[in-house]
Amino acid sequence: MTRFVLGRLAWMAAILLGVSFVAFMLMRAIPGDFAIAAAGSQSVAPDVLATIRRDLGLEQPLMTQYLSWLGAALTGDLGISFVTRRPVLGELLDRLAVTFQLTLIAAIMAVVMGIATGLAAARLRGAVDWLVRLWNGLMLAVPNYVVATLIVLLFGLYFPEITVLGYTPFLENPLANLCSMLLPAFALALAVSVTIAENTRAAVLEVANQDFVMVARAKGLRPGAILRDYLMRNALTPVITAAGLKIAALLGGSILVETIFAIPGMGQYLFDSINSRDYPVIQAIVLVAAGIVVLVNTMIDIAYARVDARVQM
């Protein structure tokens, strides 16, 4: 197990190193003068631009610049925002807390809705199964930003007294904060929930045909006991693994959802930074988002390996 964990950690470090290199080089490959972007104005005196280039190390070879930036990033220095002139790390942590809350609520919604509808489809069959699968197919075809836009339009037209857009900080009003997160979280969770529902349905149906479940039925055990002790216990392991991978993808979906609902999270921060060509912020967000996704996947692999020893082989 130790060797497996060390191998996964080495894989995580290699992935993050590759992501950091690609993000850094892409920022330098974008057309335009990096120094002018840092200055925040097109009309900058040549001597000022020369000073900015020297301060940013732009006169050095690209690989030297990358290694310098990577070394600073490892110590927590992700640079200074071109727009706000504040350290990127502080702003990023503020936005990350909002995105983490949104993602957590969306993940809980997705797991509850997905497992519940998947179990209903597998156990009740017939019309319920058909309706659940039809709903899942429709929702998989609709991007979350379309769902978010439809929610905003629906509430704007038919429930104008309910505030849909905007965000209330948790410390200012916890209840209003939760209310401001529910609709964005639902829009974010919907596509993930239908994937979890399909995985749950398939896993339960597969386990239901196993011999030990047939024996339990023949012994006259109550359906609730069979569901709890036999079906759920054996079917949820692959479901949890698939759910973890999908939940990690919620970060990507949060970019447009946060922008549509005016939630000041990491997704909106990235969207605004791209529009303003705030390269240090873009690099930092890409690196942090990749780190979160890789960390979640690594934790899922390790947890799954503890449950099923065959994974370590």
**Residue of 272, 269, 275, 279 whose CA lies nearest to 81:** 279
Euclidean distance between CA atoms 187 and 144, whole angstroms: 6
Domains defined for the chain, CATH in brackets = 100-278 (1.10.3720.10)
Look-up of token digits 């791209």: 274
What integer pLDDT is reported at residue 171 of this predicted model?
Answer: 82
Euclidean distance between CA atoms 211 and 259, whole angstroms: 51
* CA distance between the termini of the chain: 10
* Helix axes 62-74 and 2-29, enclosed angle (nearest 10): 130
What integer pLDDT is reported at residue 176 of this predicted model?
Answer: 85
What integer pLDDT is reported at residue 32 of this predicted model?
Answer: 65
Per-residue pLDDT of the chain (313 residues; tens, 9 = 90+): 677 777 778 888 888 888 888 888 887 777 766 666 666 666 666 776 677 777 666 667 778 888 888 888 888 888 888 777 788 888 888 888 888 888 889 988 888 888 888 888 877 777 887 888 888 788 878 887 888 888 888 887 887 777 788 888 888 888 888 888 888 998 888 888 888 888 888 877 777 666 666 666 666 666 666 666 666 666 676 677 677 767 767 777 777 888 888 888 888 888 888 877 778 888 888 888 888 888 877 777 777 666 555 555 5
Euclidean distance between CA atoms 309 and 313, whole angstroms: 7
Euclidean distance between CA atoms 148 and 264, whole angstroms: 16
* Structure token pair of residue 159: 């429930």
Look-up of token digits 């899942």: 136
What string of DSSP letters covers the chain?
-HHHHHHHHHHHHHHHHHHHHHHHHHHHHSSS-HHHHHHT-S---HHHHHHHHHHHTTTS-HHHHHHHHHHHHHTT---B-TTT-SBHHHHHHHHHHHHHHHHHHHHHHHHHHHHHHHHHHHHH-HHHHHHHHHHHHHHHTS-HHHHHHHHHHHHHHH-TTS--S----TTT-HHHHHHHHHHHHHHHHHHHHHHHHHHHHHHHHHHHTSHHHHHHHHTT--HHHHIIIIIIHHHHHHHHHHHHHHHHTHHHHHHHHHHHTT--SHHHHHHHHHHTT-HHHHHHHHHHHHHHHHHHHHHHHHHHHHH-GGGG-
* Structure token pair of residue 67: 């290694």
Report in angstroms the alpha-carbon separations of 35 from 10, 77, 144, 205. Answer: 35, 19, 37, 60
